[in-house]
Amino acid sequence: MCLPLRPLFLAMLRVWSAKADTVLLGRRLAFLVLAFAALAVPARADIALKDVTGREVTLAAPASRLLIDDGRFLVALALIHPDPVSVLAAWPRDINRIGKSTFEAYKAKFPAIESLAKVASSAGALSVEQVVAARPDLAVFSLGSQPSPEERARIEAAGIPVVVIDFFTHPLVNLEPSLTLLGKATGREAQAQDFLAFRRARLDAVSAKLAGLAPEARPRVFLEPHAAMTADCCNSPGKGNVGDIIEAVGGTNIGAAVIPRAFGKLNLEYVVAQDPQVYIATGGSHMEGTAGLLIGPEYSLEKARETLARVVARPGFSGLAAVRDKRVHGLSHQMLNSPLDLFTVEILAKWIHPERFADLDVGKTVAEVNARFLAVPVEGPNWIDLD
């Protein structure tokens, strides 16, 4: 039996309308789901970096191919990243700056370090061609050897952003923004802030013990980097570098009065006239073949002490107050100009004001940094007393 045509048409229209409403409702629901999802997952923001020169750089995503011009920047990355080599595209392979034994430890744990491209160190001449050939997504240079405006323009024209950090010129001022930049650039900002909070607390503890120190209670300090590497005397920090640390821990850096830069030379006559009350030599495995201090994980305490005695046996040193009063010390140069400057601050504080820091255990600080932060632990000995 056939239904009348009009009632049949109306019935079909109602079915189609219901289907259309269902489709429309589904589309509206899908749109709402997508809208809520967009609100729940914010769009990835660009990464804004500000370097120690005040220049600003923006990255679209965390850098995974850094170029560095100083091997000590690798140690900085090791404080905040479990595999610091994995975020490098190129480095200067300046093994002397981190020490032979330390390099071997990195190589054993991260064999990929051997396949990294090599670029000039901050101690050499920058090659724009090398930088561009390494194809980094961020080039990180030292403050004292940053590219010229023309070199920077050529690097940036190749699509490579450039930033400048500093652990050398003014370490106590520039370490924090430098490590913050590396953390943000590599997506490890939280880890960088964790270490910086630890470092800040330790530095504040040192400052607190120096409260009320009178100017006349600040001993004269002569710190001789790469001591006895050559026959001429004498390397010294000036205004900046480890000289800043000497002043911060209650000493008087004898080089600051005559060296306007971070680092320079003193003549022996000046050193003798200043009659420093504390003497500190730096050295390391890079001093092999010289009359200098051999100290670091490659050497025994006995070897370090023997070579330190040789350093202060040079003409003119025996009459210094520091030698007479047995306040002669040796420090691994790898502890300077380093993101591990905290260790240098603490050991210099003990040497310069032993009565105020008698209970400071620098070895305990090293053990905590090794356990909590460093991908490759620091090994010693890195400091020594002559007596």
CATH number for the domain formed by residue range(s) 47-187: 3.40.50.1980
Percent of the chain with pLDDT strictly greater than 90: 86
Q: Is 154 left (phi over 0), alpha (psi -120 to 50) or beta?
A: alpha
d(CA 141, CA 166): 8
pLDDT at 45: 72
**pLDDT, tens digit, for every residue of 261-315?**
999 999 999 999 999 999 999 999 999 999 999 999 999 999 999 999 999 999 9
In the CATH hierarchy, which fold is given to the domain comprising 214-385? Rossmann fold (3.40.50)
pLDDT tens sequence across 250-261: 999 999 999 999
For 264-283, b/e burial (b = at least 16 CB within 10 A) is eebeeebbeebebbbbbbbb
Cα dihedral angle (227, 229, 231, 232), rounded to 10 degrees?
-60
Mean confidence (pLDDT) of the chain: 91
Q: What is the pLDDT of residue 231?
A: 86
For residue 36, the model assigns a pLDDT of 46
Per-residue confidence (pLDDT) for residue 44, from 0 to 100:
55
Amino acid 95: pLDDT: 95
Q: Where in the chain is the domain with CATH 3.40.50.1980?
A: 47-187, 214-385
Which residue positions in the chain have pLDDT lower than 50?
A: 1-13, 15-20, 22-26, 29-43
Q: How far apart are CA 33 and CA 31, in angstroms?
A: 5
pLDDT at 387: 87
